[in-house]
Structure 1
Amino acid sequence: MEIIAERNSSTKVFQTAMVNMMNSMNVATPKYSVADAMVKLCSMDDFDSSSPEFHYAYLESRYGLKPSLRMSIIEKVGIFVYVLAHDVPNRLILERFQHSGETGSRVFKEVLYVMDGMSRDILVPRDPSFKEVPRYLANDARYMPYFKDCIGAIDGTHISIIVPEEDQLRYKGKKGIPTMNILAVCDFDLLFIYVLTGWEGLAHDSQIFLDTIGKYYIVDKGYSEKKGYLTPYPKTRYHQFEFRGASPRGTKEVFNRANSSIRSCIELSFGVLKARWKILDKNA
């Protein structure tokens, strides 16, 4: 009982520190933090959804993250977020949280498994039927009415990984290091609505593209022309920097510049993601 009482007492202090730390990391953009995502999933009336206690109780009730005798849920999430945000080795986990490296590694994997389950509820379109024209397009004369049916952008990014030596060759791509090619879809609010992982770094975007089902998305030249995917005109100026100081000439260049401008949302989303979670940004 003394151990449990001590844990509950220290949790309150640690909880305040963790909430402050998580809030301080909400820079760059996203409107939604991990806590916000939990609120989005809220359907329980017995908790104050604005309180930190609610978010962590929800992780336990819905996704099965359990406290241990000496570690609360909020501390487990704290270790997980700290590792993601700062890409720290086990030694620093030991110093900051006063737990062994083995404990830190085990807790990280435990929370990662839970977050994988939660992501299946979060990474979904806010408007599954796509009936409304995104405000980003509706309020810009450059895009309306020409792109009114566009619902997002698709692109891939490379994340460096550690794999056994015998598997490194097939994971080494143009970067020269083992990477995993991650394909993602985002909307115009910079929110990811679909993510496909598990492809070796050698896999080309267009190959990954064949493993997904889409609708009307903006894509770049790395994708095949196919129904539901809007690609730019080939052999025509496309990237934004190519139009600096030189206005587009002809309808194809006008289209390509608009296409590139709209698709920038996915590049910005990846940039924000890697800036916030340093573990993903290892010069991949």
Structure 2
Amino acid sequence: MAMDVIKPMDREFSDIPQATLGDSRYMPHFKDCIGAIDGVHVQASIPHQDQVPYMGRKGMPTQKVMAVCNFDMQFIFAYAGWEGTAHDTRVFLSVLRNENLNFPKPPSGKYYLVDAGSVIERTFGVWKKRWKILRDMPNYPFNKQLKIVIATMTLHNYIRRHAQRDRHFDASNDILSEEIGEDVDVQQELHSLHDNGTQEMEALRNSIATSLMNASN
């Protein structure tokens, strides 16, 4: 079910997201943005002798999850099961290098936001608020813990697509992700990669900044 649900509805991203079209803060500046990427930690139950690679900043073992969401707060990609101490660049590059993971690469002219204040933090917040098991993981085998993460993301998407109203999504503007400000998130690593070798993204950031400045004058 996850393979059918955690994916873009349109892999070509041909349409501008409704959330972007309906918000003057985003249009036309971010009309080519198709979603957001970030990393998140989920509490893990690990045998004491194996905990060191999983220990997070809060002093408890976690698994690291890389996720991509769209502007409707749906997950369109997820890669779970990494040790909590795994470097964000290592996770991200492993995704790009493994074609079997089917990462939804943006078409030419499109891009993802990589920002802790974007829609993905609200998406993480709604997801963790609903599923208490993510905050108190039982002592299951680690492979089952990984499946729980993906299963809850799948149900998150299903509810988002089919529920008429949902109190968690309705309150999403008031839900803050527990991870804000605590992780060296994947966006920092991606910015580093861009700064080191991608002039195109630098030009894009400059053009968006200029567009925003002109709109405010």
TM-score range, shorter chain: 0.5 to 0.7
What is the CA–CA distance in structure 2 between the aligned matches of 1:123 and 1:268, rounded to whole Å? 17
Aligned pairs (5 A) from 1:219-234: 219-220=114-115
Cα deviation per residue 1:202-240 (whole Å; 9 max; x = unaligned)? 0233332222243211013xxxxxxxxxxxxxxxxxx7x
Structure 1 or 2, whichever has the larger Rg, is: 1
- Residue aligning to 2:91: 208
Aligned pairs (5 A) from 1:1-284: 118-213=1-96, 214-215=105-106, 216-220=111-115, 260=117, 263=118, 265-282=119-136
What is the CA–CA distance in structure 2 between the aligned matches of 1:120 and 1:184, rounded to whole Å? 14
Amino acid at match of 1:219: V
How many residue pairs were aligned? 126
Q: Which runs of 5+ in 2 are unaligned?
A: 97-104, 137-177, 180-217
Amino acid at match of 1:279: I
Cα deviation per residue 1:124-151 (whole Å; 9 max; x = unaligned)? 1111110001011122222122211111
CA contact (8 A) 1:155 1:205 kept: no
Cα deviation per residue 1:140-184 (whole Å; 9 max; x = unaligned)? 222122211111011111111111222100111212111001111
Q: Which runs of 5+ in 1 are unaligned?
A: 1-117, 221-238, 240-259
Q: Aligned to 2:4, what secondary structure does the other structure show?
A: helix
Amino acid at match of 1:152: G
CA contact (8 A) 1:183 1:196 kept: yes
Q: Aligned to 2:37, what secondary structure does the other structure show?
A: strand
What is the CA–CA distance in structure 2 between the aligned matches of 1:179 and 1:273, rounded to whole Å? 16
The sequence identity of aligned pairs, in percent, is: 49
Relative to the length of structure 1, the TM-score reads: 0.42
| Higher RCO structure, 1 or 2 (CA under 8 Å, sep 6+) | 2
Q: Aligned to 2:127, what secondary structure does the other structure show?
A: helix
Amino acid at match of 2:121: E
Q: Aligned to 1:157, what secondary structure does the other structure show?
A: strand
More strand by share: 2
Alignment RMSD: 1.8
Q: Aligned to 2:33, what secondary structure does the other structure show?
A: coil
What is the CA–CA distance in structure 2 between the aligned matches of 1:145 and 1:212, rounded to whole Å? 30
What is the CA–CA distance in structure 2 between the aligned matches of 1:199 and 1:138, rounded to whole Å? 36
Q: Aligned to 1:183, what secondary structure does the other structure show?
A: strand
What is the CA–CA distance in structure 1 between the aligned matches of 2:89 and 2:26, rounded to whole Å? 26
